Amino acid sequence: MFTSIIGRKKTSIITIFLGLIIVLTSSCSLLLPEEQEPLPPPLAEPPEPNYSFYTVKRDDMISQINEGGVFVPVSEIPLNFGNNSGRLAELNVKMGDRVTKGQVLAKLDVGDLEHSLEEKKINLKKQELNYDKIMIDYNELLASIKEAKDQLAKAKDQGSKEDTEKWSQQLEGLEKQKEKQDIDIEIFKLGLSQQETDLERTKERLEKAQLISPIDGIIGFEQGFSMGDWVDTHTTVYTVVDPSDLYLRLNSASVTGLHLGMKADVIVGDQVYSGEVVMTPSSSNEETRDQRLRNAIILSVEGLPNTVMPGDRASIRVVLEERNNVVVLPRAGLRTYGSRNYVLVRDGDTNREIDIEIGMETPTYIEVISGIDEGDTIILR
């Protein structure tokens, strides 16, 4: 029974405690403020568009090519020692030097070849004098033979048996002597010919051991050899160029629109000369194309002064197309969509799209054939 009373008391206490919790919770919720709906953000005014405008006008348009080039010689002659090789004994010029035709530019070491050449010249001269002497004696022998023949004929005419026999024997001896001299002369001539050939070969060897300028010109290239350096066969030591025969070379990779036969103004300093396109990479023959002309456009230039040298620079001006007093529009005013060309025209407070037909174009301006007129206001991109 006691246990039952205690159990009932516990149950009552728990019930009272739970009731207090409910009351307190309800009273707290009544004390808290009611949650309000969030206010919408204030509406911002859209910024005014920042337009750039262009007022359509008429102007002259010109499409032209402006490019720089360098003068290069038409003929550039490489010089080498051919089949000869050896050490350099002389280097007489350097790049940029003016040279004359026949001038010795460099020599190989030929040892005593020059001395040998002089000896051979002297020996040949001696042999030529000996030959002249032999021929004098030979001509005297021919004269004696002629005289013997005349005397023999005279003796026969006179019927002198003694004189006939005498001149017959004398003539026979002279003719045998002539036969011997004919053989000696032929042998001597062969020996003389051999000496001449030997002398020419020595001259040729000596000449090939020298680099001689074939023209009046300028040294356009030097290999950079020093005295005593070994030079192999067919190695170019110098090139000689003719400064009076120049063309203007442009790099075709940076130039478009130039074609064979096109005329151009060539500006050298403050002077303007007439030029013409004479070669392009597509017009030159692949088999004979000069290595210097690869990827190049070549112009001939009339009336160049002799002060212009290989390596000097010049600029060209070529007018491709020209229009006068036409409606022009900056490229920034043109808008495109597919094949459509149009502009935005400002009309009061509104913008209107207007299709246009375009004509000539330059890197900065476009000719407008139709669609807009002078005075219209265009919105630029």
274 DSSP β-pair partners:
265
What domain range is 216 assigned to? 76-108+212-241
Same domain, 155 and 222: no
The model scores a pTM over 0.75: no
Same domain, 261 and 297: yes
> Could you tell me the CATH number of the domain that includes residue 303?
2.40.30
Same domain, 347 and 224: no
Residue 15 lies in a domain: no
Same domain, 336 and 223: no
Same domain, 119 and 190: yes
Please choose, from the candidates 273, 306, 279, 274, the residue with its C-alpha nearest in 3D space to the C-alpha of residue 292: 279
Residue 11 lies in a domain: no
Q: How many domains does the chain have?
A: 4
Under 8 Å CB-to-CB from 130, ≥6 apart: which residues? Answer: 188
Residue 283 lies in a domain: yes
Same domain, 216 and 104: yes
Same domain, 123 and 148: yes
Same domain, 59 and 94: no
pLDDT along the chain (381 residues), means of 10: 46 56 50 58 66 93 89 88 90 92 92 84 92 92 91 87 89 91 93 92 84 91 92 93 88 76 92 90 60 75 88 90 93 94 92 94 92 94 86
Last residue of a domain, one of 241, 257, 291: 241
Same domain, 293 and 326: no
Length of the chain (residues): 381
The Cα 298–Cα 277 span in angstroms is: 6
Residue 342 lies in a domain: yes
